[in-house]
Amino acid sequence: MVRRNGVTLVVALVVVLVSSMVIMAPWKAGAADKQTVKAAFVDQAPTALDDPAWQKAKVAEVPFEGKEKFKGKKVNVSTKAVYTKDSVHFLLRWKDATRSVTKGAWQYDGTKWSRLKGDEDRIALAFEIDRINNFATKGCTVLCHGPVGAPAKEFKLATANTAEKGDLWHWKAARSAPYNSADDSWVTVAGEKTGRKNDAGGGGDVENQTEDKSKPLYMQDPAKKASVPGFLLFEEAIKITDYSIFKAGDTISYRMPKKPSGSRGDIMAVSRYSDGEWTVMLSRKLDTGNEDDVAFTPKQRYSFAMAVFDDSGDEHSYDSEALSLEFDK
């Protein structure tokens, strides 16, 4: 009798629980009203742009709207994400009619040096390390806080207070791509100028110019073969001692990428430009253990925003709305 009662009780309980869960199912998803990039779990991290691991990820077509000189224009970035038990990877693909990788290179006309026009193509991702007020709903728009009266150009990217902290992943076609990395920086309250700080460690780039800014200071070390043809890496450069070796039409990079190290070199990048399209893969540990990096927990949903720069400086960009990053189980 007791046993029969126990069994019927269990059956009745399960029926009530299951039917209740079915009723509640539509409300389970929460209130994510913004575009979501879902990271698919893969056993093996992708190592290349065409790695089969990317087939597991759903593509999110993220719309970007132009600002300043790009106002009224739009760009779409096809975004995919996958993760392993210890790393996360993004695959970003967008149309760009021109491959811009010079960033104001020097050119010699036979008598003097001058800087060529032209910037570089870039893509940047911003995450929250510590919650940034309204970043989840307004994206990078809220990262415009500077000293009172300071022009916006000078304080681009800063949080409202020291409790807020952002993480910036910045792939630069001229300055980080040659080292297969994206520049890793973080965003805090503005000091005298920008609130953007480099992560601990080495990297970035060095301006290649003499003190009077009239000509380049460095050239490719003739004793070393350029490891990335077309780019002058700081580690492979030597000071120019004899400018007479140059002839008209010669060009030299103006910005020399430095080898990234430490926390600043956390983000690995693989990139390709073909058929009028950039494809960039960014990879990082889920948790680097560094205070200047966002630590991802796959159970959690993260807000992020992106910006694309087409041969342009910081103020001329295509910006996305605030996005969500979810890790599929």
Partner 1 sequence: MTSKPAARGFALKATWNQHRGKVLEQLALEGILARLRAWQAPSDVLTWTRFLGSLSLVLVLLLFASGVFMAFYYTPTPGAGYDSVQYAQYHVVFGDVVRGTHHYAWNLLLVVLGLHMARNFLVASYKAPRQFLWVSGVVVLHLMPILIITGDLLPWDQKGYWTTQVRTSIIASVPIVGDFMARLLRGGPRVGVIALTRFYALHLLVLPGLLVFLLAAHFHFLWYRGLSEPRDKNRTIRQPIPMFPTLLRRFLLLFILSTVVLGLVARQWPAPLGDPADPTDSNFIPKPEWWVLSLNQLVTMFTGPFSVIGTVLIPGGLAALLVALPFIDRSPERDPARRLQTLLIAAAILLVLATLSAVGYYEHFMKPVIPPRIGR
Q: Given the complex with partner 1, which of 221 and 321 has the nearer CB atom?
A: 321
> Which residues are CB-contacts of 159 (< 8 A; sequence separation ≥ 6)?
132, 143, 145, 165, 166, 187, 188, 189, 195
Choose one: 14-22, 210-218, 223-231, 269-277; the region binding partner 1 (CB under 8 A): 14-22
Q: Which stretch binds partner 1 (CB under 8 A): 15-23, 50-58, 205-213, 251-259?
A: 15-23
Smaller CB separation from partner 1, 13 or 48: 13
Stretches 83-91, 126-134, 184-192, 226-234: which one binds partner 1 (CB under 8 A)?
126-134
Structure tokens that stand for 55 in this block: 């087939």
Residue 13 found at the interface with partner 1 (CB under 8 A): yes
CB atoms within 10 A of CB 179: 23
3-class SS at 233? coil
27 binds partner 1 (CB under 8 A): yes
Among residues 27 and 241, whose Cβ is nearest to partner 1?
Answer: 27
Is 162 in contact with 129 (CB distance < 8 Å)? no
Smallest gap from Cβ 318 to partner 1, in A, equals 12
Instruction: Give all strands (DSSP E) within the chain, no chain letters.
Output: 36-41, 60-66, 74-83, 87-95, 106-108, 113-115, 122-130, 165-172, 181-187, 196-198, 205-207, 218-220, 237-239, 251-252, 255-257, 267-274, 277-285, 302-309, 318-320, 323-327
Only one of the segments 79-87, 193-201, 243-251, 319-327 lies at the binding site for partner 1 (rule: CB under 8 A); that segment is 319-327
Residues 40-99 that bind partner 1 (CB under 8 A): 65
31 binds partner 1 (CB under 8 A): yes
Nearer to partner 1, 27 or 111 (CB): 27
* 314 touches 26 (CB < 8 A): no
DSSP code at position 321: -
Residue 12 host element (H or E): helix 2-24
Among 17, 116, 238, 245, binds partner 1 (CB under 8 A): 17
Give 3-state DSSP helix, strand, coil % of the chain, rounded to 5: 15, 35, 45
The answer to whether residue 10 forms part of the interface with partner 1 (CB under 8 A) is: yes
Q: How far is the CB of 292 from partner 1 (least distance, A)?
A: 19
Which residues here bind partner 1, judged by CB under 8 A? Answer: 2, 5-6, 8-14, 16-17, 19-21, 23-24, 26-34, 65, 131, 133-134, 136-138, 141, 297, 299-301, 303, 319, 321, 324
